[in-house]
Structure 1
Amino acid sequence: MTALLGCCTALAVTAGCGAPKDSDSAAPTGHAARAKHYTGELADGAKWVADVPQDFNGTLMLFSHGYGPLRARSAPDPKTRDAFLKRGYALIGSSYSGSSRWALNVAVKDQFDTLDAVRKRVAAVREPKRTLAWGESMGGLINSLVAQHGRGRVDGALSACGIVAGGLDFNEYQTDGDYAINQLLVSGGSGSSGSSEKQIKVSGFSSDAEAAASGKALAAAVQGAQSTAQGRARTALVAALSNQPNWFSGRQPPKAHDFEAREKQQAEGLVKMSLPFTLGARYQVEKAQGGPVYSNAGVNYAQLLRHSRDVPQVRALYKKAGLDLDKDLAKLTRNAHTEADPDAVRHMERTAVPSGHLAVPNLTLHTTDDPLNPAPQESEYARRVRSAGDGSMLRQTYVHATGHCTFKPANWLAVLHALEHRLDTGSWGAATEPQKLNEVAGEAGEGSYPSFLRYTAPELVGARGRDTRAH
Structure 2
Amino acid sequence: MKLVLATALVAGLLPPAAAPPSHVEGVLPSGAAYVMDVPRNWNRTALLYSHGYTADGAPNPAQNAPSAAVRTAALDRGYALIGSSYAETGWAVEHALPDQLSTVDEFAKRFGKPRRTIAWGASLGGMITTGLAERHGHRFDGALAMCGVQAGAVASWNSTLDAVFAVRTLLTTSTVPLVDLPDRATALASAAELVPALDAAQATARGRARIALASALHNIPAWTTASSPEPAPDDYDTAQRNQYEQLHNIVHTGLSGRQEAETRAGGNMSWNTGVDYSRLLARSAIRPEVEALYARAGLSLAEDLATLAGAPRISADQGAVAYMTRNLTFTGRPRTPLLTIHTTGDAPVPVQGQRAYADAVRDAGHEKSLRQAFVHRGGHCAFTTGEMMAALAALEERVDTGRWPDTGPNALNAAAARLDPGATHAYRVYRPAPHPRPFDLAR
2:11 equivalent in structure 1 = none
Q: Which of 250, 254, 263 is 2:231 aligned to? A: 254
Does the 8 Å contact 1:83/1:446 carry over to 2? no
The number of aligned residues is 416
Structure showing greater radius of gyration is: 2
Of 331, 351, 369 in structure 1, the residue corresponding to residue 327 of structure 2 is 351
Partner of 2:78: 88
- Aligned twin of 1:67: 53
Cα displacement string for residues 28-84 of structure 1 (whole angstroms, at most 9, x for unaligned residues): xxxxxx841112322222222111111101110111111104431111121111111
1:214-272 CA-to-partner distances (Å, cap 9, x unmatched) read 3454333222111111111111110100111111245432121222332222112223x
| SS across alignment from 1:306 | helix
Relative to structure 1, the CA distance from residue 61 to residue 254 in structure 2 (aligned partners, 3 Å threshold; closer, same or farther) is same
Distance 1:58 1:297 in 2: 52
Whether the 8 Å CA contact 1:247–1:402 is kept in 2: the answer is yes
The answer to whether 1:244 aligns with 2:220 is yes
Please name the residue that 1:267 is paired with.
244
Aligned pairs for 1:132-151 within 5 A:
132-151=118-137
What is residue 435 of structure 2 aligned with on the other side?
A: 460
**Structure 1 residues 242-251 or 157-166, which shifts more?**
242-251
Give, in whole Å, the separation in 1 of the partners of 2:49 and 2:135: 16
Structure 2 residue runs without a partner (length 5+): 1-19
Q: Structure 1 37/341 Cα, relative in aligned 2: closer, same or farther at 3 Å? A: same
The amino acid that maps onto 2:367 is G
8 A Cα contact 1:215 1:277, kept in partner: no
Q: 1:449 to 1:81 in 2, by over 3 A?
A: farther
Instruction: Kindly indicate whether the alpha-carbon contact (under 8 Å) linking 1:141 and 1:159 is maintained by their aligned counterparts in 2.
Output: yes
Distance 1:371 1:231 in 2: 20
Q: What's the TM-score, normalizing by structure 2?
A: 0.89
Q: TM-score, normalised by structure 1?
A: 0.84
Correspondences of 1:147-158 after superposition (within 5 Å): 147-158=133-144
Question: Could you tell me which residue of structure 1 aligns to residue 203 of structure 2?
Answer: 227
- SS in structure 2 at match of 1:330: helix
Q: Is the 8 A contact 1:244 1:374 kept in 2?
A: yes
Whole-Å separation in 2 of the counterparts to 1:450 and 1:425: 26
* SS in structure 2 at match of 1:93: strand
The secondary structure found in structure 2 opposite 1:158 is: strand
Shift of 1:376: 0.7
Q: What residue is the counterpart of 1:3 in the other structure?
A: none
Q: Does 1:384 align with 2:373?
A: no
Which residue is equivalent to 1:15?
Answer: none
Q: Which moved more, 1:219-228 or 1:45-54?
A: 219-228
**Alpha-carbon distance, 1:446 to partner:** 5.8
Letter in structure 1 aligned against 2:299: L
Contact 1:214 1:279 in 2 (8 A): yes
The structure 1 residue matched to 2:153, chosen from 167, 170, 179, is 167
Give the Cα separation in 1 of the matches to 2:200 and 2:386. Answer: 40
Report the counterpart of residue 405 of structure 2 in structure 1: 429
Find runs of 4+ consecutive structure 1 residues off by over 4 angstroms.
Answer: none
Give the distance between the partners of 2:437 and 2:399, measured in 1 at CA.
Answer: 35
- The answer (yes or no) to whether the contact 1:62–1:134 under 8 Å persists in 2 is yes
Deviations 1:414-437 (A, max 9, x none): 10011011112222231x111111
Letter in 1 for 2:72: D
Q: Kindly provide the amino acid, as one letter, of the partner of residue 351 in structure 2.
A: A
Q: Corresponding residue for 1:443?
A: 418
The aligned amino acid for 2:368 is S
Return the offset for 1:464.
Answer: 6.0
Question: What is the deviation of 1:284?
Answer: 1.7
Contact 1:79 1:409 (8 Å CA) reproduced: yes
Deviation at 1:278, TM superposition (A): 4.2
Aligned to 2:98: 109
Counterpart code for 1:178: V
Question: Is the contact between residue 49 and residue 83 of structure 2 (CA under 8 Å) also seen in structure 1?
Answer: yes
Q: What are the ranges of 5 or more consecutive residues in structure 1 without an aligned counterpart?
A: 1-33, 188-197, 466-471
Give the letter for the 2:438 counterpart: A
Partner of 1:364: 340
**1:159 is matched by which residue type in structure 2?**
A
Amino acid at match of 2:417: G
Post-superposition CA distance 1:296-319 (Å, at most 9, x none): 122221122221122222122212
2:160 paired with 1:180: no
Contact 1:369 1:402 in 2 (8 A): yes
Single out whichever of 209-218 and 176-185 deviates more from structure 2: 209-218
SS in 2 for 1:352: coil
